[in-house]
Amino acid sequence: MQTETLEALLFLVPASALASLGFAAFLSFRILRLPQGTEEMRSIAAAIRQGAGAYLKRQYTTVSLFFVAMALVLSLLAAAGFLAPYVPVAFLTGGFFSGLAGFIGMRIATQANVRTAAAARESIDKSLRVAFDSGTVTGLCVVGLGLLFISLWYFFLNGNYRELDTSLRVPRITSIMLTFGMGASAMALFARVGGGIFTKAADVGADLVGKVEAGIPEDDPRNPAVIADNVGDNVGDVAGMGADLYESYVGSILSTMALASAAGLGLGGVGVPLLLAAFGLLASILGTFLVRTREGADQKALLRSLRRGVYASTFLTAVLGWFLVLLILGPDLLGVYASILSGLLAGILMGLSSEYYTSASYTPTRNLAASSQTGPATVVIRGLSLGMSSTVFPVVVVAGAIGASFFLAGGGANFNLGLYGVGLAAVGMLSTLAITLATDAYGPVADNAGGIAEMSGQPPEVRDRTDALDSLGNTTAATGKGFAIGSAALTALALIAAFQDQVQRLLLADGTRAAMDLSLLNPRVLMGLLLGATLPFLFAALTMNAVGKTAELIVAEVRRQFREIPGIMERTAAPDHAACVDICTRAAQREILAPAALAILAPILTGLVLGVEGVAGLLGGATATGFLLAVMMANAGGAWDNAKKHIEAGAYGGKGSSSHKAAVVGDTVGDPFKDTSGPSINILIKLLSMVAIVFAGVILRFSLF
Amino acid sequence: MQTETLEALLFLVPASALASLGFAAFLSFRILRLPQGTEEMRSIAAAIRQGAGAYLKRQYTTVSLFFVAMALVLSLLAAAGFLAPYVPVAFLTGGFFSGLAGFIGMRIATQANVRTAAAARESIDKSLRVAFDSGTVTGLCVVGLGLLFISLWYFFLNGNYRELDTSLRVPRITSIMLTFGMGASAMALFARVGGGIFTKAADVGADLVGKVEAGIPEDDPRNPAVIADNVGDNVGDVAGMGADLYESYVGSILSTMALASAAGLGLGGVGVPLLLAAFGLLASILGTFLVRTREGADQKALLRSLRRGVYASTFLTAVLGWFLVLLILGPDLLGVYASILSGLLAGILMGLSSEYYTSASYTPTRNLAASSQTGPATVVIRGLSLGMSSTVFPVVVVAGAIGASFFLAGGGANFNLGLYGVGLAAVGMLSTLAITLATDAYGPVADNAGGIAEMSGQPPEVRDRTDALDSLGNTTAATGKGFAIGSAALTALALIAAFQDQVQRLLLADGTRAAMDLSLLNPRVLMGLLLGATLPFLFAALTMNAVGKTAELIVAEVRRQFREIPGIMERTAAPDHAACVDICTRAAQREILAPAALAILAPILTGLVLGVEGVAGLLGGATATGFLLAVMMANAGGAWDNAKKHIEAGAYGGKGSSSHKAAVVGDTVGDPFKDTSGPSINILIKLLSMVAIVFAGVILRFSLF
């Protein structure tokens, strides 16, 4: 394809991003026009909205301080010539767009929850539509803003370097843009970890005192922590998840663009990931129209309707991808198309694997539920062992995707082309993110709707409908997590490859130093590998402890309110919900600092001691154990949750039996596993790579040994 | 040093091995001459001895079948030219010596337990001496047989290749001998995993029904599983531990000998590890004389007396090592001495780290005990997070040891010399194994003595003395585990380096193929790395499940006996202890097969698909996550155990409180962590390397891609 045609075609990218944002705005207004149910429902929803708003306000304050400080550091580095002058601004805009995506998603989710509950008074299909539309807004904003961010900067830099020939201009642009992902990653870490600590501390705290000590049911408005629990679903599972996938998305595209240059593919190589993302976005928008169901639909029918949307989008993207590669790269490089396919396929397999290990429809979770008969210790042992075994299949899938995308793209003959293939596999997996994220972000809305229905005393059939949607949300959340983890692993690898390429470029420019030796037996690499491998363990420990500590604060506060505010249990006095929200908000901001410092300082300090080779080892080690730990924690947590639900549905003595008590212990252990530590590790491994890329020049200059 | 002098000096190695075995025989006879206490004590001890004997007999039958089958496979490979003709025989003798070391250690432990109990009727010092002497026998046999095995083969091969010049002969010999470690590793896996499943299934099963359901105390003779529990201490913690360290010991020496040749150091390079091991052995024998205490000694005094022996041996070895390096390698290579020191130091630091994280004298375990106040879920979360955080310091220590031993040996200028340094660090760490293992293998003897004292109704002061020794045993066991894990990591790395060298040698001989590319970004390496990283997770899951399943069988059997044999609780009828021993024995043999198959097939299958580069990645990944998982599981398990003991000693409500119940859940989860899965992972990572080394030729010839 001619350069001019291609350059014109690239305008499709911001166009589709704007279309996505426009469609999101349309859906939002449609949601906002829907009825909000009774007065009581409205006031509960307002409390949740308020709490979520208060949390985000506080979080953005903390984050702003961090971003300003980091931008200053980056400006100094840019002034000293270690970074392109655009990096500090790109860092801020990346973080801003990521935060904005989470903000909009959460705003609409906290409006949609009550409307989903209100719609459930009429029919399950209407209710599904509202919740799913809200999830779709999140998905569209994340992807739309991500693509907008990338294309704005691309066109700006392209204009800026207009005087250079394409063959020089494209590598220059992609090498600069590679350093642009750190803002998104840092924002994602804050949103995910902070939200994760908030949501699980509130959940665990509310359960420990409410269910266990006071003997009141879940979502009972008398529990002072119940609003915090519902707020948590929004700040953790909507805003956190959105920011998480925003940075995966941006990271995968930026690294693939950089690898395209390294492979010498020029503008065409850059165009493929960008246009694939744009086509995937349009396909996702079309796919959302296929999600609908009829009244009386069972779990399977509901799931089928969501899957229909996802699979149709995937299929459409796969077809468009073929033309894309053929037209832009030509028939000789059609092998690259196989890379895209392997990414799409791996994404689906990862989701199915998570579902198999965490759904009570399959053996693993059923056996886990059975083990509750011999007490909590057996439940914990079996759950951990389930989580550990569940890492094998995803590893085989991701390793297979790496091998397939590398070698089918032609990596055997042209190493950099193979790495480009791996990057494209990640982009392929994430190309339909708008709709996969929609099916995921729909869950917390349905969950909240159930809470509102319960608290406002709706008739049982309303709660039954929201329960059906919520329970489906657990399955889609598991699928979504598998997808998030798989894409994180592939993206992290693409980023490591891009890091290596960036360093080689700097070394080449220096001219006085030897090329990197990334051999596994190079002691620097080996030491880095071991140190990197331990980072996810430490990170998981820090975040789990943060949840434990904050939950203990909530327990103390709830006990205090029960003691000091007479009449709560008799419903004559209202508990102080805001106090619990406030405790979680403050604690989340405080506890986030150590994990964030770890993620940012680890690669820099390692680099200063062990050099860039040590950093490469660090990234490899962190990706390997991070991937495993994330899968293990997500699946063990999901399985414990569903094993408990399985028992609550009547198995092994049902609610209140000793089996149930044992299963509740497993579920509580699983809470920080699946919603705090596990998903945050995804971000950790990418943020480490991003920091390494940005600080590569500094490390090269100042490393001690 | 002249070749003749050096060759003569090498005869010190078998001589010290024989001295060690002779001293072990002397100690054994001294133990056997001691009084065995009352008739009741004797009969209990006989039951334990019988059970242990029955287990070993059955295990050796299973293992023999496996060894014969493997020897046939190896013979075929040798006949086809893929292996030296000596390998099958060496495989059998390695396994035999390893089994023999475990067998002798266990035989003497099951004789010493009752004599320790009898001596405790007189004084704590006498009691300590008996238990420690028994541990010393295990230590001396493991090290003595290991050195004997290596030196016998060395002298045999040396004679066999007499016609070759030294410069050709030494590389030939070391390259063949490198393949000799697989027998020891395979035997160790069977002993460790089988023993681990046996001991923890019996322990968990006995506790679940005895303590929880029937409300009878630990070690109560009415519990049908109590003898199995005591048998388990011997087959798991003595025979299993012995075989484990035997293979670390042999593996570290063999790989360092091979690396010496690769570094072009010739006979001198081979002599240093061998003589260092011999000197360390002699120093350890001297050190054992320093272990003694006085009546009324508290925990700290007891620990000091054990430590005195270890530190004195370490110091002596360090001094002798200096002369050794100076005389044999000369002043130019004195940097290699720093490698030895870094290994010795790392061993001590690893032990101290384990102690810090698992002893109730320090904050982590105390905080863990405090968390029991909010229930079992908090205990589990905090324990897991303690275990995860506890990986950081050991990783830094091992990474530091790698860096120090590599660069100080001169690896910056001569890469292979650096790798030789890493190997020597492992040998250095293990050089004082005889005495460190003695302090470790003493624990189960004291534990058994306590059981015998309890079951035979000894006066309280006897039980108090054995309790003091037993409790100390928990600390030394933690130290020993840290040491075992640290040495496993260094040994595994030395083995990976030796594997790479072996493959390069084969590739060179072939001449038509490219050298290995072990870059982290080589997709074969990367895929192998990910697959390898998941192996310890899968292995841990398999072994944890095996314990869970077997414990459930024990629970069923104990319940059956309580139901069907009237009069057990009234002490008018004896329970059928042998039935529980039999169940554990059978189950252990059955459950061992899947983990063993995994360890042996994983590197071969990976190699056949991804080639030798994939195998190298596999070994690296397995070592990294295996190391972390082993540390995490050992420390979390130890901390849960001691947190429970801390509460039993009166904290947070003491025995029977809800805190205690929560702590018991943690302890039960920790049982398979610390005594089955955790320690077995050490062996897994080395067995994988050994299999890779033995099958390197086959993989090179038949790999698909």
User: Within 13 Å of residue B611, how many CA atoms lie on the same side as its CB?
Assistant: 17
DSSP helix/strand/coil, B27: helix
Q: Is the pLDDT of residue B92 over 90?
A: yes
pLDDT at B397 over 70: yes
Q: What is the pLDDT of residues B628-687, one digit of tens each?
A: 999 999 999 999 999 998 998 888 998 888 899 999 999 999 999 999 999 999 999 999
Annotate B275-305 with DSSP letters as a single string: HHHHHHHHHHHHHHTT----TT--HHHHHHH
Of A395, A523, A627, the CB nearest to B411: A523
Q: Which single residue is written with the structure tokens 């030294």? A: B166
Please, are residues A173 and A53 in contact by the beta-carbon 8 Å criterion? no
Q: Which amino acid is at B495?
A: L
User: Cα–Cα distance between B422 and B336 in angstroms, integer?
Assistant: 9
CA distance to partner chain A, nearest, from residue B363 (Å): 15
Encoding tokens for residue A415? 């190493």
Neighbours of B661 (CB within 10 A): 18
Non-local (6+) Cβ contacts of A538 within 8 A are: A598, B388, B389, B391, B392
In our burial notation (b when 16+ CB lie closer than 10 A, e otherwise), range B2-21 reads eeeebeebbebbbebbebbb
pLDDT digits (tens, 9 = 90+) for A627-645: 999 999 999 999 999 999 8
B85 exposed, middle or buried (CB, 10 Å; 0-12, 13-18, 19+)? exposed
- Written in H, E and C, the secondary structure of B161-221 is CCCCCHHHHHHHHHHHHHHHHHHHHHHHHHHHHHHHHHHHHHHHHHHHHHHHHHCCCCCCC
End-to-end CA distance of chain A: 48
* Average pLDDT score over residue span A197-206: 89
- The yes-or-no verdict on residue A685 having pLDDT over 90 is yes
Q: What is the pLDDT of residues B487-508, one digit of tens each?
A: 999 999 999 999 998 898 888 8
From A399-413, A455-469, B270-284, the region with the lowest mean pLDDT: A455-469
Nearest of A326, A240, A228, A226 to residue A276 by alpha carbon? A326
Say if CB A233 and CB A199 are below 8 A apart: yes
Q: How far apart are CA B125 and CA B114, in angstroms?
A: 16
Backbone φ, ψ for residue A519 (5° rounding): -60, 140
B395 → closest Cβ in A418, A534, A547: A534
User: What residue type is assigned to position A89 of the chain?
Assistant: V
Q: What is the pLDDT of residues B514-548, one digit of tens each?
A: 778 899 999 999 999 999 999 999 999 999 999 98
**Can you tell me the mean pLDDT for A679-702?**
93
What does the pLDDT look like over A64-98, one tens digit per residue? 999 999 999 999 999 998 998 999 999 999 999 99
CA angle (B670, B671, B677) in 5-degree steps: 90
When divided into structural domains, chain A yields a total of 1
Q: What is the pLDDT of residue A221?
A: 81
Note the pLDDT of residue B572.
85
| pLDDT (average), residues B69-85 | 93
Whole-angstrom CA distances from B275 to B137, B257, B423 are: 21, 11, 14
How many helices (H) and strands (E) chain A has is answered by: 24, 0
CB-based contact A336:A427 (threshold 8 Å):
no
User: Confidence band (pLDDT; 50, 70, 90) for A16?
Assistant: very high
Q: Cα(A384)–Cα(A631) distance, rounded to whole angstroms?
A: 11
Cβ–Cβ < 8 Å for A45, A39: no
Contacts (Cβ under 8 Å, ≥6 apart) of B390: B353, B357, B364, B631, B632, B635, B636
Has residue B420 got a pLDDT over 90? yes
Instruction: For chain A, say whether B384 makes contact (Cβ under 8 Å).
Output: yes
C-beta atoms surrounding B574 within 10 Å: 12
Q: Tokens in use for A610?
A: 């062990």
> pLDDT value at position B23?
96
B residues 203-222 lying closer than 8 A (beta carbon) to A = 204, 208, 212
Note whether A500 contacts B: Cβ–Cβ < 8 A: yes
ipTM of the complex: 0.94
| C-alpha dihedral, A32 to A35 to A40 to A42, nearest 10° | 10
DSSP 8-state symbol, A515 = P
Query: From CA A623, how far away is CA A603, in angstroms rounded?
Result: 13
B548 at interface of A, judged by CB pairs closer than 8 A: yes
What's the token pair of residue A295?
């009244």
pLDDT of A257 above 90: yes
- What are the structure tokens assigned to A195, written together? 């939200």
Q: What residues contact residue B85 under an 8 Å CB cut-off, 6+ apart? A: B78
Q: Would an 8 Å CB–CB cutoff place A395 in contact with chain B? A: yes
Chain B residues with CB under 8 Å of A550 CB are none
Q: Give one DSSP letter per residue of B121-151, joined into a string.
A: TT-HHHHHHHHHHHHHHHHHHHHHHHHHHHH
- Per-residue pLDDT band for B512 (boundaries 50, 70, 90) equals confident
The answer on pLDDT for A464 being more than 70 is: yes
Q: With CB atoms and an 8 Å threshold, state whether A540 touches B493.
A: no
* Predicted local confidence at residue B295, as pLDDT: 67
Mutation site, A357, A516, A530, interface B, largest B CB count within 10 A:
A530
Flag whether pLDDT at A295 surpasses 70.
Answer: no
Q: Do you know the residue count of chain A?
A: 705
To 10 degrees, the CA torsion angle through B177, B180, B181, B182? 150
Among A388, A418, A518, select the one facing B520 at the smallest CB separation.
Answer: A518
Report how far residue B446's alpha carbon sits from residue B114's, in angstroms, rounded to the nearest whole number: 9
Percentage of residues in chain B having pLDDT higher than 70: 99
Residue of B181, B12, B178 lying closest to B687 (CA atoms): B181
- Cα–Cα dist A27/B537, whole Å: 44
The residue to which tokens 């001496």 are assigned: B129
At A650-664, the pLDDT tens digits run 889 988 888 999 999
- Is the Cβ pair B518, A523 closer than 8 Å? no
Q: Could you give phi then psi for residue A304, rounded to 5 degrees?
A: -60, -40
The span from the CA of B683 to the CA of B192, in Å, is 8
Distance CA A129, CA A110 (A): 15
- How far is the alpha carbon of A311 from chain B, nearest alpha carbon, in Å? 28
Mean pLDDT computed over A667-677: 93
> In which element (H, E) is residue A261 found?
helix A241-262
A78's tokens: 């840019």
Q: What is the torsion angle, in degrees rounded to the nearest 10, for the CA atoms of residue B237, residue B238, residue B244 and residue B250?
A: 160
Secondary structure class of A519 (helix, strand, coil) = strand
pLDDT reading at A3 higher than 90: no
Q: Residue B65 corresponds to which tokens in the numbers above?
A: 């079948």
User: Taking each helix axis from N to C terminus, what angle separates B182-206 and B39-79, rounded to the nearest 10 degrees?
Assistant: 140
B530 touches chain A (CB under 8 A): yes
Quick one: tokens of A157?
């830099």
Q: Where are the beta strands (DSSP E) in B235-291?
A: none
The reply to whether residue B534 touches residue A628, judged by beta carbons under 8 angstroms, is yes
Closest Cα to residue B116, out of B185, B31, B55, B184? B31
Cα B178 to Cα B250: distance, rounded to the nearest angstrom: 10
pLDDT reported for residue B345: 93
Q: Is A379 left (phi over 0), alpha (psi -120 to 50) or beta?
A: alpha
Q: Is B541 on the interface with A (CB under 8 A)?
A: yes
Mean pLDDT of A113-134: 92
Q: Which stretch of A569-583, B259-273, B360-374 has the lowest confidence by average pLDDT?
A: A569-583
Q: State the pLDDT at residue B124.
A: 86
Q: Compare B217 and A16 and report the one with higher pLDDT.
A: A16
Closest by Cβ to A538, choosing from B389, B545, B625 = B389
User: With an 8 Å Cβ cutoff, are A665 and B376 in contact?
Assistant: yes
Does residue B53 sit at the A interface (CB-CB below 8 Å)? Answer: no
Report the pLDDT value the prediction gives residue A422, as an integer from 0 to 100: 95
Nearest-CA distance from B150 to chain A in Å? 26
In 3D, which of A91, A89, A97, A99 has the Cα closest to residue A62?
A: A99
Residue range(s) defining the domain that contains residue B386: 3-702
Over residues A40-52, mean pLDDT? 91
Would you call A377 an interface residue with chain B, using a CB distance cutoff of 8 Å?
yes
Please state, in angstroms and rounded to a whole number, the distance separating the CA atoms of residues A184 and A694. Answer: 13
The whole-number average pLDDT for the span B375-380 is 91
Across the interface, do B531 and A627 touch by the CB < 8 Å criterion?
Answer: no
Q: Which two tokens stand for residue B556?
A: 């069923």
* Segment A280-286 mean pLDDT: 95
Nearest-angstrom CA–CA distance, A135 and B87: 63
B58: Cβ–Cβ under 8 A, 6 or more apart, which residues? B585, B586, B589
Q: Quote the pLDDT of residue A638.
A: 92
Q: Provide the pLDDT for residue A566.
A: 84
Query: Sorting pLDDT into bands at 50, 70 and 90, what band is A516?
Result: confident
- How many other β-carbons are positioned within 10 Å of the β-carbon of residue B400? 15
Q: Flag if A375 and B500 touch (Cβ within 8 Å).
A: no
Between chain A and chain B, how many beta carbons pairs sit less than 8 Å apart? 217
pLDDT at B603 > cutoff 70: yes
Give the integer Cα–Cα distance in Å for B619 and B331.
35
On the question of pLDDT at A484 being above 90, the answer is no
**What are the residues whose beta carbons fall under 8 Å from the beta carbon of A31, sequence distance 6 or more?**
A108, A111, A112, A115, A130, A133, A134, A137
